[in-house]
């Protein structure tokens, strides 16, 4: 008899695989998973990242719906519509201190911040509290069908009224 080492035979269906074949399959599987992960991150990086925001222009309705002397809050738009004797104007309803939504207090005839106590006149001028600036006046105009529109992204100097 000769001392020859017998090579293991190739396993047939249903038999266990050899160690070398197991590690080869494990390595190829790991490379495949890593490749899929890289492709997923590359797709995410290359696809556009678009932020859809609502339009800054808000329709506030017909001027007839506001009585003279009224201060009306549109909480969704975060805008006050003020109808004074001079005409209409819009104020940003967000407090200049920390961004809280302010409210019109009819009994005190002022705009008040419920969070930290800042107070403003109906023209947006700060009268009390920690707010560093007055409330901003926003651009307002009448469109073709007679509705009041407010551009929340455009601040204007005070005392610019929309006359109807």
When the pLDDT of each residue in the chain is averaged and rounded to a whole number, the result is: 87
The residues with which 80 forms a beta bridge, in sequence order, are 73, 91
In a domain, 148, yes or no: yes
Given a contact cutoff of 8 angstroms between Cβ atoms, the answer to whether 149 and 141 are in contact is yes
Mark whether 37 and 84 lie in a shared domain: no
Q: Could you report the per-residue pLDDT of 62-85, keeping only the tens digit for each? A: 989 888 988 999 988 899 999 998
- Shared domain for 44 and 116, answered yes or no, is no
Task: Specify the pLDDT at position 69.
Answer: 87
Q: Are residues 93 and 150 in the same domain?
A: yes
Are residues 73 and 150 located together in one domain of the fold?
yes
Instruction: Assess whether 39 and 64 both reside in one domain.
Output: no
The CATH number of whichever domain residue 130 belongs to comes to 2.102.10.10
Same-domain pairing of 64 and 32: no
d(CA 83, CA 94): 19
pLDDT at 10: 59
Asked whether residue 149 is assigned to any structural domain, the reply reads: yes
Is residue 4 one of the residues assigned to a domain? no
Domain range enclosing 47: 15-52
Q: Is residue 128 part of a domain?
A: yes
Distance CA 146, CA 31 (A): 65
Residue 8 neighbours by CB distance under 10 Å: 9
Same-domain check for residues 19 and 78:
no
Is residue 115 situated within a structural domain?
yes
Q: In Å, what is the CA distance from 65 to each residue of 58, 61, 144, 159? A: 16, 7, 17, 22
Looking at the structure of the chain, the number of domains it has is: 2
Query: For residue 113, what are its two tokens?
Result: 């911040």
Domain for residue 5, yes or no? no
Residues 68 and 147 in one domain: yes
Q: What is the DSSP string of 60-116?
A: EE-GGGS-TT-EEEETTTTEEEEE-SS-EEEEE-B-TTT-PBPEEETTTTEEE-TTT
Parts of the chain with a pLDDT under 70: 1-15
């Amino acid at each position: 008899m000769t001392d020859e080492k017998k090579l293991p035979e190739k396993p047939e269906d249903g038999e266990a695989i050899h160690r070398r074949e197991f590690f080869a399959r494990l390595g190829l599987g790991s490379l495949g998973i890593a490749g899929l992960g890289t492709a997923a991150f590359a797709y995410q990086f290359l696809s556009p990242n678009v932020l859809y925001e609502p339009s800054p222009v808000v329709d506030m309705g017909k001027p007839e719906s506001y009585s003279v002397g009224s201060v009306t809050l549109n909480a969704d738009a975060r805008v006050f519509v003020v109808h004074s004797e001079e005409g209409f104007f819009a104020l940003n309803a967000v407090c200049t201190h920390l961004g809280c939504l302010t409210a019109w207090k009819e009994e005190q005839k002022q705009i008040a911040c419920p969070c930290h106590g800042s107070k403003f006149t109906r023209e947006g001028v700060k009268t009390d509290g920690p707010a560093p600036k007055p409330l901003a006046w926003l651009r307002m105009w009448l469109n073709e069908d007679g509705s009041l529109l407010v551009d929340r992204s455009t601040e204007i100097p005070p005392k610019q009224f929309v006359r109807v």
